[in-house]
Amino acid sequence: MIDKSFHIITFGCQMNANDSRWLALSLEDRGFVRAEAADAQVVVINTCSVREKPEQKVASALDGVRRVTRGDPRVLVAVAGCVAQQMGGKLFSPGGQVRLLIGSDGLVRAPGAIEQLLAEPELRLSLLDFTDSYEERGQVRGAPVPVARVTIMQGCDNFCAYCIVPFTRGRQKSRAAASVLEECRARLKEGAREICLLGQNVNAYGLDRHGDGSTFAGLLACVAALPGLARLRYVTPHPKDMGLEDVSAFGDLAPLCPRLHLPLQSGSDTVLKRMGRKYDSRDFLNLVERLRKTRPDMALGTDIIVGFPGESEKDFGDTLNMVHACEFVSSFSFCYSDRPGTRAALFPDKVDPAVSRERLARLQSLQDALTRRLLEKRVGQKTEILIEGRSRRQEAGKTSWQGRDPYGVPVHLVLSGNTEDYTGKMVPVIITQSKKYTLMAQQAGGLCAEQSNFEKAGPLRKDLPANPCAGKAKKNFTPGA
Ligand code: SF4
């Protein structure tokens, strides 16, 4: 076991990945080093309960840690995230290695708690209380990355019938706009070219009682204006909270990429009502039409739950029709399963799992065909790729790189020479081939200008107006909201 070393295992969404990144860098700031699980003094399992069988996944991860560390009682195991919040003290078993539970609001105190627990081997700590407002975590400095993910809010107030998030991540708490901007500027100065704003319901930003008068559209405009920014994205919006100004932003803000992940969940109005989504299929189609009017090349992705309680074959057919009509370029789809404590867990008329699986297969084959058709149409087009790193596949004397186009599609291209590091560079390309989920490209000209304009970002401005991101009261586009 390496003294003062840690290993983090992360499940789930980009917010979890971002939380793990912050924890890792904070521990490094305190003198810890990264290690394999078998050698680490501290192992953190950052959990997610959105997908199926989260408790079994955590149990199996804990078994894996016990196996590789041979149950060494000196190893401190922490369970963080949604499953820790859900299971609480049940994770502390007599003689077990788990001595720390970290909820989403407790993460800010986790580095200090880890140090305390290493000094006091008999102690166990639980950081599961929700705080009243968004607690700033303190800036950490990491290796430059082309794409920086910046959290703008925590939790959710929507209580969709199937979703555990409001229980595990708490009620919505918006982060102060000035702090978001400060972190964005710092990440751009580090070398990021793209910023992705993160939250469970980003376009409700500022609408909770913790809001500082900023609106989501106001915040987007402020971030888009930061020197050095080439691309801006966000995830995840809720269709019912999509304001007119949020739609217009796609036409007004040059760095805002024409790609939006817009969760549909179901195409059936009956199911949407039972889910408590507060929009219907007509609202969603209107929103899609408005988005495409604003940005004709808009690429949409979505989330879909198949086999929600009471879903009939007709309801499922409505979902297939919506997928066709919206022409999603990608979707995350999965079979419904109960989450304890949610309303849907108590709904009768659960769909037979075999029926759900068969519907999921049909949905995914439709999506695959759509994706293939939409990607094939891209062949021959010129675009720009932000290089995120080397591809796994390499050719002799050349290096294969991977990045994303403005539509969020992974693109692979070969660049001559194998010494220069193209990570973070914008490369003009022509798309040469489409694969199942990715594209292949060839360089079409010199590297894009302004390769390192993040250097222009300069020091953090101290003279920002009190609230540069304030906006007018939000007008939602979807009438059902
Ligand atoms: S809006 Fe998203 S995070 Fe919030 S309750 Fe609904 S599904 Fe969960």
Note the pLDDT tens digit of each residue in 252-283.
Answer: 999 999 999 999 999 999 999 999 999 999 99
Q: Is the CB of 163 inside a 6 Å radius of any atom of ligand 1? A: yes
Q: Is the CB of 261 inside a 6 Å radius of any atom of ligand 1? A: no
Q: Is the CB of 160 inside a 6 Å radius of any atom of ligand 1? A: yes
Q: How do the domains of the chain map onto residue ranges?
A: 5-127, 147-376, 382-448
Three-class SS of residue 220? helix
Atom of ligand 1 nearest to the CA of 166: 5
CATH architecture of 147-376: Alpha-Beta Horseshoe (3.80)
Interval 409-434 mean pLDDT: 89
Confidence of residue 449 (pLDDT cuts 50, 70, 90): low
At which residue do the structure tokens 């580095």 appear?
111
* Segment among 185-194, 332-341, 349-358, 391-400 with least mean pLDDT: 391-400
Q: What is the pLDDT of residue 405?
A: 96
Distance of CA 202 to the CA centre of its chain: 11
Pocket test for ligand 1, best of 160, 207, 303, 304 (most atoms within 8 A of CB): 160
pLDDT tens-digit readout, 375-415: 999 999 999 999 999 887 766 667 889 999 999 999 999 88
**Strand 194-198's sheet: what is its strand order?**
147-151, 194-198, 231-235
Q: Is the CB of 437 inside a 6 Å radius of any atom of ligand 1? A: no
Pocket test for ligand 1, best of 13, 16, 153, 156 (most atoms within 8 A of CB): 156
Asked if 153 and 135 count as a contact pair (C-beta separation under 8 A), the reply is: no
Q: Is the CB of 158 inside a 6 Å radius of any atom of ligand 1? A: yes
Q: What is the pLDDT of residue 480?
A: 43
Q: What is the pLDDT of residue 421?
A: 85
Q: What is the pLDDT of residue 395?
A: 67
Q: Is the CB of 197 inside a 6 Å radius of any atom of ligand 1? A: no
To the nearest whole percent, how much of the chain has pLDDT over 90? 71
Q: What is the pLDDT of residue 473?
A: 62
Interval 295-307 mean pLDDT: 97
Q: Is the CB of 238 inside a 6 Å radius of any atom of ligand 1? A: yes
Confidence of residue 455 (pLDDT cuts 50, 70, 90): very low
Tokens standing for 446? 């010199």
Q: Is the pLDDT of residue 462 over 60?
A: no
Q: Is the CB of 342 inside a 6 Å radius of any atom of ligand 1? A: no
CA-nearest residue, atom 8 of ligand 1:
163
Q: What is the pLDDT of residue 474?
A: 65
Asked if 334 and 360 count as a contact pair (C-beta separation under 8 A), the reply is: yes
Interval 24-31 mean pLDDT: 95
CA-nearest residue, atom 6 of ligand 1:
160
Atom of ligand 1 nearest to the CA of 201: 1
* Segment among 48-62, 126-140, 175-189, 442-456 with least mean pLDDT: 442-456
Q: What is the pLDDT of residue 476?
A: 62
How many angstroms is it from 214 CA to the middle of ligand 1?
A: 22
Cα-based torsion angle of the residue sequence 289, 172, 186, 452 in order, rounded to the nearest 10 degrees: -10
Phi, psi of 2 (to 5 degrees): -90, 130
Q: Is the pLDDT of residue 463 over 50?
A: no
How many angstroms is it from 415 CA to the middle of ligand 1?
A: 42
Q: Is the pLDDT of residue 461 over 50?
A: no
Q: What is the pLDDT of residue 364?
A: 98
Q: Is the CB of 159 inside a 6 Å radius of any atom of ligand 1? A: yes
Report CA-CA distances (Å) from 135 to 81, 153, 154, 181. Answer: 16, 10, 10, 16
Confidence of residue 469 (pLDDT cuts 50, 70, 90): confident
Tokens standing for 360? 């999921």
CA angle 35, 36, 41 (to 5 degrees): 60
How many angstroms is it from 166 CA to the middle of ligand 1?
A: 7
How many angstroms is it from 377 CA to the middle of ligand 1?
A: 33
Atom of ligand 1 nearest to the CA of 276: 6
Confidence of residue 87 (pLDDT cuts 50, 70, 90): confident
Atom of ligand 1 nearest to the CA of 200: 3
Domains 5-127 and 382-448 share a fold: no
Mean pLDDT of the chain: 90
CA-nearest residue, atom 2 of ligand 1:
200
CATH architecture of 382-448: Beta Barrel (2.40)
At which residue do the structure tokens 């930061």 appear?
226
Task: Decide the pairing of beta strands 398-404 and 382-390.
Answer: antiparallel
Q: Is the CB of 166 inside a 6 Å radius of any atom of ligand 1? A: yes
Q: What is the pLDDT of residue 96?
A: 84
Q: Is the pLDDT of residue 52 over 80?
A: no
Tokens standing for 73? 């009682």
Interval 108-112 mean pLDDT: 95
State which fold the 5-127 domain adopts.
Rossmann fold (3.40.50)
Confidence of residue 459 (pLDDT cuts 50, 70, 90): very low
How many angstroms is it from 234 CA to the middle of ligand 1?
A: 16
Atom of ligand 1 nearest to the CA of 277: 6
Core vs surface per residue 162-181: b (16+ CB within 10 A) or e: bbbbbbbbbbbbbbbbbbbb
Q: Is the pLDDT of residue 456 over 60?
A: no
Q: What is the pLDDT of residue 454?
A: 33
pLDDT tens-digit readout, 172-212: 999 999 999 999 999 999 999 999 999 999 999 999 888 88
Interval 81-100 mean pLDDT: 88
To the nearest whole percent, how much of the chain has pLDDT over 70? 92
